[in-house]
Chains A and B, each alone.
Chain A
Amino acid sequence: MTAVTPRGAKPKKVFSPRNIMLYGALVVFSLYYLLPLYVMIVTSLKDMAEIRVGNIFSAPVEITFQPWVKAWSEACTGINCDGLSRGFWNSIRILIPSLILSVSVAALTGYVLACWRFKGSEIFFGILLLGAFIPYQVLLYPLVIILREMGLFGSLWGLVLVHTVFAMPINVLLFRNYFVALPEELFKAARVDGAGFWGIFFRIVIPMSLPIFVVSGIIQVTGIWNDFLFGVVYTRPENYPMTVQLNNIVNSVQGVKEYNVNMAATLLTGLVPLAVYFFSGRLFVRGIAAGAVKG
């Protein structure tokens, strides 16, 4: 009876110099990004007395959730003292219509530019892309006038409109490039099968395009949620999004700087984009890659 000897290439060593370098670098970079987050979390769980001791890296001796409660429902932002909760719901009310409107309009525009070319559609697309390179600040005041003339200035819908318009260049680019890569014969087959403009869009194109919708959705959720400039310019204080309120809490010049409350408020504000990445990161990467290879 012969012994069973292993065959094939020798297994690679775990602690090869290459691996040590690679994982060492990864660990260093992870720490670089995670350390501030750690500081924020521990600080938000300490009370002010403990913070004043000055050991910002030490874990809280006595964990308290009071700063979180205060940030959410008691901190004063301007004239109101009901915390970030008001801003959170405002942000939700801004986010949902802006997200739906911007993604649908961008998808539809991309679909037309990819599949129903008209005379001058390439030029149109070029001009649209140019929009991505114009600094927002340049357009702030003209937009104020436009919104005023439309009677939308200061309202939620005015802000939704602004978000939708500014979403166009990058999102139309994403959708158009994704749709261009879909096989042309599919559209021909659908036309022979009697599907029209909307039929092809809803029954053929959309079901094949989940990844790019996820990508566009994530870009929009983060962009709209993190927006500060448009929120502060185009709405009234009762409609201020969470970011503006966060700024009002953190940058208030009166009274004691409550670092723990500030940290908690900042973490609360960042939760939504974080959650979106967390739950759809895999689809996000796939969508970006699909667009990259075929665009």
Chain B
Amino acid sequence: MNHSIEIKDLKLAFGAVTVLEDLNLQVGQGEFLVLLGSSGCGKSTLLNCIAGLLDVTDGEIHIQGHNVTWEEPSKRGIGMVFQSYALYPQMTVEGNLAFGLKNARVPKDEIAKRITRAAEVLQIEPLLKRKPGALSGGQRQRVAIGRALVRDVDVFLFDEPLSNLDAKLRADLRVEIKRLHHTLKNTMIYVTHDQVEAMTLADRIAIMKGGQIMQLAPPAEIYNRPVNKYVAGFIGSPAMNLIEGDMDAGSLQFETGRGMAFSVQGYEFGSSPTSGRVWLGLRPEHVHSGTLAQTQPVQLDAYVDMVEPMGSDTQVWAKIGEQELRFRMDGQAKVDIGDTVPIGFDPARLSMFDKKSEMRL
């Protein structure tokens, strides 16, 4: 039993509309997997299939080595946390935590023991006698996590658990969830559309689009070596510069035809380079300016079009020839619209995608 969760050739269709198709996924023991994608990509649908809240059309789902494709949600050994918390409003916090255990006919003293333990871990002991209506958003989500916790299961499923919270609380609870995972070492599958949550929490991220997994890899790899143009544009804030141009395989020269040309010597091609039309991806934070620019293999002059000072750093919208480029400068740097700034970057940090297939070269 190597995998905690194994999904084989999963297919889900509502009538003529296919939502998920031929989806294969393996999640390791104790792994924190994040399903990331924009709305409508099928990430929540996939989670609901794993939970058993949606009947699949075809394929198999195994949890801890058991084929649970047609099991009831409660019999799958999962706990689930929802975006809207989904606490039972007429029950106290204690009642909410006990509800699933009572249904499973767990003995009373065992229920009490588990509630005490979960309340301790989540620091919700003073809230046990209150009703959900009397709790704040953060407290409610803690109780919702507690409800999954008391079930004593191997797999936790999170469906956008932090989306309803304000920014500050979200950051706090994010850290708490990470700490919880570190303590419990459960397998966790976490659905979100927030790339910061994905990057900070995940052992591996699965980026989904149109019911398919585009890339499944650790956060660093997703960031550094996006497998296609979609992933490249999706991950990173501000978004990666994607520049269209021609690649010459012999000279390794990249040329936009709009006044921007340089050698990509040092770029790690996946296979031997071929000539043709490409998308070239350059992250704003990988462009250096000032004295650091002079140490970079590629050096260019950028004409500053627009400046957005953020305090910690400054976003610069610039033009190289006719080619627009966005990059980041130090927050203390003195730069104005109309300046010409020397910039430089390392081709090893670039990403290149075939124009047609949009796959990484």
The verdict on A203 contacting chain B, using a C-beta distance below 8 Å, is yes
Asked if A236 CB lies within 8 Å of chain B CBs, one says no
Instruction: Point out the residue from B80, B83, B85, B90 that lies within 8 Å of A192, measured CB to CB.
Output: B80
Within 8 Å by CB of A191, from B73, B88, B104, lies B73
When the two chains form their complex, are residues A183 and B86 in contact, meaning their CB atoms are under 8 A apart? yes
Cα-based distance from A285 to B78 in the complex (angstroms): 42
B233 at the interface (CB under 8 A from A): no
Complex alpha-carbon distance, A191 and B86, angstroms:
12
Flag if B103 contacts A189 (CB, 8 Å): no
Q: Is there an interface contact between B86 and A194, defined as CB atoms closer than 8 Å? A: no
Closest chain B residue to A206, Cβ basis? B90
Query: Which A191-246 residues sit within 8 Å CB-CB of chain B?
Result: 191-195, 199, 203-204, 207-208
Closest to A186 in B: B86
Interface centre among A188, A199, A204, A208 (most CB of B within 10 A): A188
Interface residues of B in 39-69 (CB under 8 A from A): 48, 51-53
Residues of A contacting B147 in the complex (Cβ-Cβ under 8 angstroms): 189, 193
| CB closest residue in chain B, given A207 | B90
| Alpha-carbon distance between A220 and B74 when the two chains are bound, in angstroms | 38
Flag if A199 contacts B103 (CB, 8 Å): yes
Q: Which of A185, A186, A193, A204 makes the CB contact (< 8 A) with B74?
A: A193
> Which of A183, A191, A199, A208 contacts B90, CB < 8 Å?
A208
**B: contact size bracket:** 20 to 34
Is there an interface contact between A194 and B88, defined as CB atoms closer than 8 Å? Answer: no
Verify A203–B99 contact, CB threshold 8 A: yes
Assembly CA distance A195 to B72 (angstroms): 10
Within 8 A of A (CB), among B149-191: none
**Interface centre among A183, A191, A193, A195, by most B CB within 10 Å?**
A193
For B83, list chain A residues within 8 Å (CB): 185
In the complex, per-residue mask of A122-147: 1 if CB is within 8 Å of any chain B CB, else 0: 00000000000000000000000000
Choose among A183, A186, A192, A208 the residue with the greatest number of B CB atoms under 10 Å from its CB. Answer: A192
B84 within 8 A of A: yes
Q: Report the nearest B residue to A183, measured CB to CB.
A: B84
A21 to chain B, nearest CB (A): 41
CB contact under 8 A between A193 and B89, given known A185-B82, A188-B80: no
Check B79 for interface membership: any CB of A closer than 8 A. yes
Complex Cα spacing A185 to B87, Å = 9
On whether A192 and B104 interact (CB within 8 A), knowing A186-B88, A208-B89, A208-B90, the answer reads: no
14 more contacts with CB within 8 A, not counting A188-B82, A192-B79, are A186-B88, A188-B80, A188-B86, A189-B82, A189-B88, A190-B99, A192-B53, A192-B73, A192-B100, A194-B73, A194-B104, A195-B74, A195-B99, A203-B88
Residues of chain B at the chain A interface (Cβ within 8 Å): 48, 51-53, 72-75, 78-80, 82-90, 99-100, 103-104, 147
30 of the cross-chain contacts (CB-CB < 8 Å) are A185-B83, A185-B84, A185-B85, A186-B86, A188-B48, A188-B73, A189-B80, A189-B82, A189-B86, A189-B87, A189-B147, A190-B99, A191-B52, A192-B51, A192-B74, A192-B80, A192-B100, A193-B74, A193-B99, A193-B100, A193-B147, A194-B73, A194-B74, A194-B75, A195-B74, A195-B103, A203-B88, A204-B88, A207-B90, A208-B89
